[in-house]
Amino acid sequence: MRPSAPAALGPLLLLGLLLLPGEATQKPTPCQGCRELVDKFNQGMVDTAKKNFGGGNTAWEEKSLSKYEFSEVRLLEIVEGLCGSSDFECNRLVEEHEELLEAWWLRLKKEHPDLFEWFCVKTLKVCCSPGTYGPDCRACQGGAARPCSGNGRCSGDGSREGDGTCQCHPGYRGALCTDCVDGYFSALRNATHSVCTACNESCKTCSGPTNRDCAQCEVGWAEEDGACVDVDECAAETPPCGPQQYCENVGGSFNCEECDPTCVGCTGKGPGRCKECIPGYTKESGQCADVDECARPEKACARTGENCYNTPGSYVCVCPEGFEETEDACVPAQPAGGEVAEEATEEVTEEDAVRPPTREDL
């Protein structure tokens, strides 16, 4: 039976999701693959150094160890540990160049002790020596010893790619990364070195590290007595913040923060910095505090027998449990059958009046 279209598309959609460019593992460049293999080989040499030795016969160990150090047995142990079973690129590289690795190990190691230089740079020619780039391994801008004057990265450095141009570190610019960008000044410059250091935060351009060395002040700062000082925007005649905010000055700028919820306008953080209090609050000991309307001499609740409960900034009036509201009093609720009980005509007692309301009533 032929599967329906949705059923047939299911596996294809899943495969498409698995192969999305953002999710797929990027294949390493030939140089990266070679460098990783050499790193693993070098680690294998470390892991197998003096392996299976450590007894008490030192003379025998030294003799046996010298044989093991350059043996095919050790080479085999290193090669077998180079790649994981799922690392197809690593396994392909080893299978393709195993004879070269064996030749270096058995015959060329003493003459060419740097495996990366011999294997990746000179033999396979997929990498370049540090400080060189491109197909012909030319020296980077500024020379192979200190590319980009030590203040940047050479494009393609150590690979057969790139164009050798300098990508400067922060604070530096120019073909050789020897010049300083705005916000930095030259702390040291000679025939071989150039050091750029950040200006003081108040300076846009400068010749030294302090606020008196500014050639131009940064935004939010102004020149005063030969130095760039912070402008206090909060002290402006027209406040920069809203009516329910207070202004907080910071270096070169300002922040607008919300007033406390109990304030009508404020000069700072908290209920103690309110200009005025919102209804239901009053100034006590210098800060806005809740008014307890239920504690006042005059009754807050108009109905007879009604209980008063204070809430933040206000109050509520509630009839006791078992009573219901009328226009001017709390009266006993009628039974479910609709008949008025004998005590229905009785007035609300003091005990009933102080009975707390249920959660639903509040």
Q: Does 17 reside within a domain?
A: no
Both 36 and 121 in a single domain?
A: yes
pLDDT 10s digits, 90-140: 999 999 999 999 999 999 999 999 999 999 999 999 999 999 999 999 999
Q: Does 122 reside within a domain?
A: yes
Q: Does 153 reside within a domain?
A: no
Q: Does 213 reside within a domain?
A: no
pLDDT 10s digits, 207-226: 999 999 999 999 999 999 99
- Rounded mean pLDDT of 262-270? 94
Contacts of 353 (CB under 8 A, 6+ apart): 305, 306, 307, 320, 330
Contacts of 77 (CB under 8 A, 6+ apart): 44, 48, 51
Full domain range(s) for residue 277: 245-290
The answer to pTM > 0.75 is: no
How many domains is the chain partitioned into structurally? Answer: 3
Q: Does 210 reside within a domain?
A: no
Out of 127, 143, 167, pick the residue that ends a domain.
Answer: 127
Q: Which two tokens stand for residue 177?
A: 């990364």
Both 35 and 112 in a single domain?
A: yes
Q: Does 133 reside within a domain?
A: no
Q: Does 218 reside within a domain?
A: no
Identify the CATH number of the domain in which residue 331 sits. Answer: 2.10.25
The three-state secondary structure class of 94 is: helix
Out of 102, 127, 152, pick the residue that ends a domain.
Answer: 127
Out of 127, 161, 195, pick the residue that ends a domain.
Answer: 127
Both 325 and 349 in a single domain?
A: yes
